[in-house]
Amino acid sequence: MSPDGSRVAFEANPDAVLIVGADGVISEANPAAHLLFGYGPTELIGLTVEQLVPEMSRHRHVELRQGYEAHPLPRPMGLGMGLMCERADGTNVPVEISLSPLGDGGSTIATVRDVTDRLADRNEARRNVSRLELLEDRERIARDLHDMVIQRLFASGMSLQAVAAIAEPAEVAERIMFTIDELDDTIRDIRNTIFELHLQRRPALSEQLANLIADRSDALGFEPKLSVTEEIDRLPADLSDDLLATLAEALSNVGRHATAGSASVTVEQRSGSLSLVVVDNGRGMPAGPNPGHGLSNILWRAANHGGRCTWRPADGGGTVMEWQVPVPIAGP
């Protein structure tokens, strides 16, 4: 790249910009690229772009890159697709990428943008919509219980009281009064249910984890062993939701692909870090797996919280999945 206005724009660009040769080797990188990927000045030069892709996707990225080089056209990549890059410290960052042929017959300009904040805003908006829908649903159920069910039960009780006053013999009247008492108890129970709906009580995270494992046990053919630390019940709601979703996906993968006979789930919060470790004794993961939506979602959730997820063979056979994210420090 010549030392002219283009060089100034290249250096000043707030997005990460890489110039990549036909062999996938990085020949130039602007300061924003070194900052995004966590490398020191000039350390990106000479690396392949595959070294900046999460390990599980590198084999696939080679094919995609070669396909682009065969038909090089300007195009955006990753808009809404959940693409990620891997930093020097191993953490994953959600990104959007634009590619454009340089015009020298082989090189490509790759512009990479960190979309962590945008993703967080979008996820928060979705959570707000979900919370609103849940609130509206709870209000509707509570309203229907009060306005329809309780009122009908109350009217039935009043009618029975009128019948009891003239019922013969006495045993019949006694039986009717017993039924009225049962209706009163039912009305009190429904009122308590309405009260709980308004309170929006949420079970502790440890309880939700246990319930999730119990629910998946029938499909797995066994119940995974669960171990948790007490601190997890104080996790923020958004992190709890992603932890539960990750565990659900991990257990689904064990059931679909591992042909395992046992598994263990360990959830620990220590020193500002949350880890989820799922170990199974199945057949293990094949070399160079092609991650589907499930594995991509697991990686995406970890990256969204500034964390990472790895898979490795378990001792004696099977697979170990470790999902680790930092835990926000609670305010005073």
Same domain for 100 and 165, yes or no, is no
What percentage of the chain exceeds 90 in pLDDT? 22
My answer on whether 212 and 280 are in the same domain is yes
Of 199, 224, 241, the residue at which a domain comes to its end is 199
Kindly state whether residue 169 falls inside one of the protein's structural domains: yes
- Do 106 and 153 lie in one domain? The reply is no
More confidently predicted of 324 and 285:
324
Number of domains observed in the structure of the chain? 3
CA angle 130, 254, 237 (to 5 degrees): 25
**331 pLDDT higher than 60:** no
Confidence of residue 197 (pLDDT cuts 50, 70, 90): low
Report the CATH number that the domain containing residue 9 is assigned in CATH.
3.30.450.20
Strands 92-101 and 16-20, by their bridges, are: unpaired
| Residue 26 domain boundaries | 5-114
Tens digits of residue pLDDT in 54-110 = 888 887 887 787 777 777 777 776 555 668 889 999 888 888 888 888 876 678 888
- Cα distance between residue 36 and residue 202, in whole Å: 38
Same domain, 209 and 314: yes
Instruction: Report yes or no on 13 lying in a domain.
Output: yes
Alpha-carbon gap, residue 131 to 286, rounded angstroms: 40
Report the half-sphere exposure of 147 (CA within 13 A, side-chain side).
6
Res 26 pLDDT > 80: yes
More confident site: 83 or 37: 37
User: Does position 293 have pLDDT exceeding 90, yes or no?
Assistant: no
For residue 286, pLDDT beyond 70:
no
Q: Residues 256-275: pLDDT tens digits? A: 777 889 999 999 998 889 99
> Is the alpha carbon torsion for 255, 307, 237, 296 positive or negative?
negative
187 and 154 Cβ atoms separated by less than 8 Å: yes
Same domain as 233, residue 130: no
- Give the pLDDT confidence score for residue 253 in this predicted structure: 80
Q: Is residue 332 part of a domain?
A: no
Note whether 187 and 211 are same-domain residues.
Answer: no
Reported as a pLDDT band with limits 50, 70 and 90, residue 10 is confident
Same domain, 77 and 143: no
Specify whether 104 is located in the same domain as 12: yes
Q: Would the pLDDT of 289 be above 50?
A: no
pLDDT at 316: 84
The answer on pLDDT for 41 being more than 60 is yes
Please indicate whether residue 137 or residue 204 has the higher confidence score (pLDDT).
204
Q: Is residue 65, in this structure, part of any structural domain at all?
A: yes
Mean pLDDT of the chain: 81
268 within 8 A of 274, measured Cβ to Cβ: yes
**What pLDDT, on a 0 to 100 scale, did the predictor assign at position 274?**
95
Cα–Cα distance measured from residue 82 to residue 80, given in angstroms and rounded to the nearest whole number: 6
Checking if the pLDDT of 332 tops 80, the result is no
Whether residue 223 sits in one domain with residue 141: no
- Cα separation values, 315 from 120, 281, 282, 284, 321, Å: 37, 9, 11, 11, 13
Domain end point (choices 62, 89, 114): 114
168 with 225, same domain: the answer is no
Note whether 81 and 60 are within 8 A (CB): no
Do 164 and 180 fall within a single domain? yes
Give the mean model confidence (pLDDT) for residues 192-206.
Answer: 69
Confidence of residue 290 (pLDDT cuts 50, 70, 90): low
210 and 244 inside one domain? yes
pLDDT at 279 over 90: yes
The predicted structure's pLDDT at residue 24: 87
CATH number for the domain harbouring residue 218: 3.30.565.10
pLDDT, residue 156, reads 80
Nearest to 263 by CA among 204, 201, 216, 304: 216
Q: CB count, 10 Å around CB of 54?
A: 22
- Cis, peptide link before residue 54, omega less than 30° from 0: no
Give the Cα separation of 142 and 138 in Å (integer).
6
What is the structure's pLDDT at 81?
60
Instruction: Of 294, 235, 238, 259, give the one whose Cα is nearest residue 120.
Output: 238
The answer to whether residue 280 scores a pLDDT higher than 90 is yes
Tell me the mean pLDDT in the region 121-142: 73
